[in-house]
Structures are given as C-alpha cells and as structure tokens.
Chains A and B, each alone.
Chain A
Amino acid sequence: MSAADDLPVDESAVATVVDNRGMLCAQGILRLMRTMLAVPPAGVIKVLSSDLAAEHDYPAWCRATGHRFLGHRKQPDPSWGSLIVSFVEKRPPQPAA
C-alpha cells in the first residue's frame, strides 16, 4: 500500500471521481468503465472504494484492459472505517486480440 505522499499522482490532474463506497468491487468496476467513456485518453480517474478488494482488483483490471494504474492509498473514513483511494489513467483503446 502506498502512503499518500508516495503516490505519483497530482490530484489536480484528476478528471473525475467515481464514488464506489458501499459497493462490491464487481459493481464498482462497471461504474469505473462507464466513467471512462467520457474521459479523454490520459485523463486520470480517482476511485473511492469501501470494498478493500479494490487494492487488488483495480490494478488487475488495468493490466487486463490496457489502462494505467497509478497507485492507491488507504485512508480513514468516518462512515466506512477505511477507504481504498485508487488512481487510474485512461489509455487509448487497444485493438482487440
């Protein structure tokens, strides 16, 4: 887990935030995918997740789909205990294999 200060992410570059708090990671993936449709290539998306599986699922999804996983951090949240905050950079569409 990266500490916040170690993240190579300029939060001012975040194009949009996907709030997946209260959802299973499987539901959150589709919401991230929806959001990506409207974000231009190289746009950065910040994802808030209460499902701690996000720590593994978003990097794996990025590896499988060609997007760039920039990192994540764990932060306390008054409602959910802790959150995984992930940063994903949209890459141009890859040709189908």
Chain B
Amino acid sequence: MPKQILSVLAHTEYGNLEDSDIGLFASAFAPVAGQSLTLLLREDAVNYAVRGQDGTGIKIAGAVVQPGFLIETDLQSVQQANISVYAMREDLQERGIREDELIPGVRVMGRSELGKLVDQFDTVWNW
C-alpha cells in the first residue's frame, strides 16, 4: 500500500530562479518513491490554479528564468500523473478568482472539508 501524502502549497514563489515551485518539484517526485500524492492549493498558492497565465520572460537580478515559470503546464503535468489537485474555495473567493477561471481538472473544496480531507492521508507536507 503506497504511503498517502497530502502536499499543501500555501505560498507562491518569489525571488527564485527555479522554473517551478519547489513544493511542486518535490510533489512530482513522490511517485518515484512509491508514494501516492494529492496536491492542495490554499492561501496565495490558489493563484497557481488560474489558467492562461504567462510565466515566460521573467528576469531576476538580470538573469532570465528559463524556460519560464510554467506553473499551468506543471499542474497539468502532475494531473496527468494521477496526482489530484484541489484548491480552497474561500481562498479563491478572497482573491477574486472565479471557479470558471481555473485549470480544467482542479477540484474546489471548502475550508470546512479540510479536516475530512487531511484524515485520508498518512502524511501532510506543508510548503
């Protein structure tokens, strides 16, 4: 039975030359260790779930982030690897993000459901 992990991304990256979120890098790697992973976006990280964002052309201290911050592609990639992605409804609403703006396949859940979700996992990672 693979270990069940809930990976919670609460912050967006800043000042980082990596081309993706460090928590997402680790989450994508979980299947290598035989772990079953689910991703939850909450707080500012719900911004990652908005479709149609262009993360190319970012420069930090003159250095270009290559090939760009490809968060939409990365979320689609993890979904294709059977990693479910959830976003917190209240955090979306507080930021003016409508559910019809989300990347297809992202599931929306309310804060009141969080405890029940967490109970399903052996481990919770917070990023």
Same complex: yes
Chain A residues near B (Cβ < 8 Å): 25-27, 29-30, 33-34, 36-37, 57, 60-61, 64-66, 93-94, 96-97
Interchain CB contact under 8 A, A65 and B31: yes
Contacts of A94 in B (CB 8 A): 82
How close is A20's CB to chain B, nearest CB, in angstroms?
12
Cβ contact of A29, chosen from B28, B70, B73, B80, cutoff 8 A:
B28
* Residues 4-32 of chain B, each 1 if its beta carbon lies under 8 Å from chain A, else 0: 00000000000000101000111011011
Q: How many residues of B contact A (CB 8 A)?
A: 22
Additional 8 contacts, C-beta under 8 A, given A33-B28, A57-B32: A26-B26, A30-B29, A36-B77, A57-B29, A60-B31, A60-B32, A64-B31, A96-B84
Chain B residues near A (Cβ < 8 Å): 18, 20, 24-26, 28-29, 31-34, 36, 70, 73-74, 76-78, 80-82, 84
Interchain CB contact under 8 A, B32 and A34: no
Interchain CB contact under 8 A, A37 and B25: no
Count, A-B residue pairs, CB within 8 A: 56
Interchain CB contact under 8 A, A30 and B84: no
Contacts of B28 in A (CB 8 A): 26, 29-30, 33
How close is B125's CB to chain A, nearest CB, in angstroms?
13
Q: List 23 A-B contacts (CB under 8 A).
A: A25-B32, A26-B28, A26-B29, A29-B25, A29-B28, A29-B29, A30-B25, A30-B28, A30-B77, A33-B78, A33-B80, A34-B73, A36-B77, A37-B76, A37-B80, A57-B29, A57-B32, A61-B31, A64-B31, A64-B32, A65-B82, A97-B36, A97-B82
Bound-complex Cα distance A64 to B81 (A): 9
Contacts of B70 in A (CB 8 A): 34
Cβ contact of A93, chosen from B18, B26, B74, B80, cutoff 8 A:
B80
How close is B113's CB to chain A, nearest CB, in angstroms?
19
Residue of A nearest to B80 (CB): A93
Bound-complex Cα distance A35 to B31 (A): 17
